[in-house]
Structure 1
Amino acid sequence: MPINRSKLFAGQRLRELRKRDKLTQQTLASLLGISLSYLNQLERNHRPLPDRLLHLICEHYGLTPAWFNDTREAHRLQALRETMGDVVFKEAPLTMANMAEAVRHAPALCDAFLTLYRAYTFEQQRAPSTLPDIAPLEPYEVVGNWVQEKHNYFHELDCAAEKFYQTLPEHKDGLEPVLTMFLLEQHGLKITHDTDMEQQGLVWRINRQRNTVILPHNQPQESRLFYLA
């Protein structure tokens, strides 16, 4: 039975190594064999550091995995992420970049905030009858809270994306037709475009009756790639 380990968010340590060697993100991404956008997400703690990259970096720099996890900043950031996932903060959300900046530049303030939140949850559990009635959540709020609880990380989806990326040819230009063909061959989904979607505030949708993925018209290439992926 596999061991359920916590995910490692090591953006600060990864950034320290890169700046120590005076490398650009593009250079380090090339050394690790990953995309620039993926490295950017790792450094911003938007994605956890997977085992294969952890071992590769440790081998390259002569480190042990403990070096990445032995940091109060990482634990403080994780606690802040979990705290901000509470529905009480739904009207005042923070981006991961905001939280990472707060942890780096105002750690004492973050600790005070976390202490206050723990006191709040203790009082909430001790005297639930004194709390005001809370209106039931809308379906999209329930989904949003679930995504927050997962820290926007879904292991099966992440592994599938990594596996797909590894099957691409070494020269990875022209990713859009590759994704389009993958959707057609694996899921029977065709791609069409709609000139009215952007005005409706939609970024993409699926017509299951027609097995069609519908995208907005005249979107930048990076946006089309994101929606297809």
Structure 2
Amino acid sequence: MADRKLFAGHAIRRMRRQAGLTQAAMAEVLTISPSYLNLVEKNQRPLSASLIVKLAESFDFDPRALAAGEPGGGEAALRRRLADPMFADLEIDRNELEEWLAGAPGGAEAFARAFDRIGAGSVDASAASDPVSEVRREIERWRGHFADLDAMAETLADELRLGAGDLYGAIAERLRVKHQLTIRVLPVDVMPDMLRRTDLHARQLQLSETLDPASRTFAVAFQLAQIEARGEIDGLAKGAGFTDRASERLYRRHLASYFAAAVMMPYARFLRACEATGYDIELLQRRFGAGFEQVAHRLTTLQRIGARGLPFFLVRIDRAGQASKRFSGASGSPLAEAEGRCPLWRLHTAFDRPGALAVQIVELEDETRWLTIARTVTPQGRRYGAVPAEFAVGLGVAAALGGTMAVARGLDLKGEATPVGLGCRACGRGNCPQRSLPPAGRALVLNERERGVSAFTFGGD
């Protein structure tokens, strides 16, 4: 994916205007023709690697902003907003949306902010100030990848490997020697409702005995992140500009978790292993001593410039279909972005076979196809007789990109796919036997003399 085309005309235009340059002047600085720069700004030409290097050398900017700053979250996110019934009569097609993004990126961003702020459609006013939603928007702004944290964690992981082959032991020793924190594993009766606790008075990191080895390693790496990556985390948290304290705390927790996962699965080594194994999650678990969900989440973050992995998305749901995690990363997949989901997606049937992989090719109404994997996970800390908990984790990538994956062997990625939607209210597919509600903005057609496969028959757009 290192050679994937990057269109960022809006960012280049903004950079040029902030510098007070004409197209001709900026083209001269970059040693390209003004006509070529004009095409780049109109998103009619992608940014080449050499042009990105010239931009970084000539202007004070972070290259990550080229991918992270798409107006309104990019084309897919704007399409999701425009799918609201209030815009049904406008019939805005893909070409018109592309022209809007290229010609008026500021207007597109203003529309997205206004839509999210006023709670149009399915997003209500309370969601706009919800800490979980705010933090998720900030994570998606970075496409799930935090380059500075990754680089620091990778350097630290190399240091720890030189000291000991056992990562858990190496981190525990570093905490003891460098930070005067010892690790103590306590019985569940002593910590009945806690998995991890830092006792600064006793200078102890206390862990529950119910944690498995992967979770214990993650817990000590998380503690190390809070100490050694504090400056980087402080900078990212300040840059997010949260006005709500809960949002900032939640974001900091995500960043510390990101760092911990990056220490367990250092970027370069992990990406090489992904490509060598065909993104075989179970093999990656064993190789890096991580859990299924840890590996799945790490896969959504592989977006280092010049060394990108496949652009995965992740969704985690409970049996009621409620999503507790959603990361679209660089995939831009509506399957992660949408509030609703389709019961025909095997993510929902993963509960029937706990621990087994459910592989499926699905196709959305816009004819985009996705190769998806689903599996159940059980939270750590459960003891006999306690309330059972179980989640299903869904991981997916554009089907056209999934040919190198181990789970794709024997599959015809261009063949038959399961037609799914983004929840019944957002899905316009007719004759669906699984339909529970009519689509929003479509008139019901009722005929007492007929009964179709679906309980609801409706008119066209």
Q: Same fold (TM over 0.5)?
A: no
Return the TM-score normalized by structure 2: 0.23
